[in-house]
Structure 1
C-alpha cells in the first residue's frame, strides 16, 4: 500500500462538484445525514479507487459529491451485492462502501454511534450483546437476516470510535501502508502463505516503523524525507 499523494483530500465546502442534495433527499436520506454529507472531507478518485492505497482491505471511502455513491450508499451491500435488500435506515450514513468481503462503517446520526463490522461477519457478531438483545431469530427470517444485520452490529459512541481510530494510526499500532489486510505490526502471522512471505512482511513492518521514527513521527514529521527514503529502499511504495 502507498501513501495518499498530497492534495488527495478535498475539504468542504464542496462546490465542484457539490453534494446533490435533491438526489440525496429523493433516495431517502434524512435531513441530518444530508447536512453531514456537505461537511465531510472526501478522498479524490485517483487515490480512492486505487486498491493499493486502501486503509481497510477491499473497502473504499464513500464520496457523496458523486451521484453514484449517493445512490449506492442507501444499500446495505452497495454496487451489485444483494441488490434486493431493503434500503438502510434513513438516518444512517455509510462512511465506506465495501466490496462483498469488505467493512461497513455506518454513522448513526440518531444515536450518535458508529456501527462497524465485516460484510461477511454475521457469524462473528452473534455472541455480541447487541446481537443477542434482539432475541432469537425466527426461522422464517433466517434467509433474510443478512439484509438487516447492521441493526444488530455493535454500537460504539462516535466520539470514542473516531478518537481511537485516529490514535491507533498516530501511535503506529496500525500500519496499512504495506498491506491493508495485514496492518497490525504485533499480529502473529500464521503462515497461510509461505514462511518466507510471512518473515518478509515482518521485516518490512520493522523497517517501516523505524523509518517513521527516524523521520520525526508524529510531532516533527518530515513527510518528504520519509517518502524519499521509502521509495529509495527495497520496499518502495
Structure 2
C-alpha cells in the first residue's frame, strides 16, 4: 500500500501547475495557494469524508472565476476542480457533469465519499480520481497518487500532450514537417501548438514572450477556420 502523503500530493500538483505557468498556458494570478477555508459543513453534506476535506485544504487550486476561465484547461478537455467554491464541491461528486452525451446522462457516476476529483473531464478529457484512504489514483491512470501526478507532469514537459482551450481547436488537419511530432497529432491546432513550443526553444531555451505572441496569431487563425 502506498504511503499516505497528502503533502506530497499537494507538492506534486503545485509542480504541475507551475509548469503550466512556465509554459505560458496559465497566468500566475490564477494560482491559489493553500491553506484554504473549505466549507466543511457543505462538503460533508455532499458526502466528502474527513480525509478528503483535510486534503482539500492543503491543495493548490486554479481560479476558475476570472474572465476567460476556459483557458484553465490543464490538459486536453480536462479542467481543474476548485474546492474553495461551493460549485466546485457540488460538481466534483459527479465526474460526468461536464460531459455532453445522452449515454453519460443515463447513469451518473457519483464518486465514493473517500474519493475526490483533482480534475474533471469535458467530452474527450479524463478525470483525475484520487482515493484518499490509500492515496492512489484510479480510473484511466492508476497507481500511487504522487507518482501518477509526476508522470503526467513529465508527459506535459515532453509535449506528449499540450493543454489547449476547447474553443481554440481548429478542425482542419495539415502536415507540418517538425521533428519530434507524430502522425497521432491529427488535430491541426494541437499539432501546431506542439510545433510552436519546439520552435520557441522548449524546454531548455524557451522564449516565452515570443511563444505568447505567435500563439495569439495561431488562435486567431484557428478561430477564423471555425467560423
When normalised by structure 1's length, the TM-score is 0.62
Kindly tell me: are residues 19 and 83 of structure 1, through their superposed partners in 2, closer, same or farther at Cα, counting changes over 3 Å? Answer: farther
CA contact (8 A) 1:56 1:181 kept: no
CA contact (8 A) 1:98 1:104 kept: yes
Question: Residue 158 of structure 1 aligns with which residue?
Answer: 145
CA contact (8 A) 1:5 1:47 kept: no
1:205 aligns with 2:194: yes
Q: 5+ residue gaps in structure 1?
A: 118-153, 192-196
1:96 aligns with 2:149: no
Kindly tell me: are residues 31 and 211 of structure 1, through their superposed partners in 2, closer, same or farther at Cα, counting changes over 3 Å? Answer: same
In 2, distance between residues paired with 1:43 and 1:110?
24
Return the offset for 1:91: 0.7
When normalised by structure 2's length, the TM-score is 0.64
Kindly tell me: are residues 68 and 83 of structure 1, through their superposed partners in 2, closer, same or farther at Cα, counting changes over 3 Å? Answer: farther
Return the offset for 1:209: 1.0
Question: Of the candidates 141, 156, 159, which is equivalent to residue 172 of structure 1?
Answer: 159
Q: CA RMSD in A?
A: 3.6
Question: Residue 227 of structure 1 aligns with which residue?
Answer: 212
Kindly tell me: are residues 116 and 49 of structure 1, through their superposed partners in 2, closer, same or farther at Cα, counting changes over 3 Å? Answer: farther
1:13 aligns with 2:32: no
> Could you give the per-residue CA deviations for residues 189-215 of structure 1, whole angstroms, max 9, x where no partner exists?
486xxxxx74x76455323212033xx
Higher relative contact order (CA 8 A, sep 6+): 2
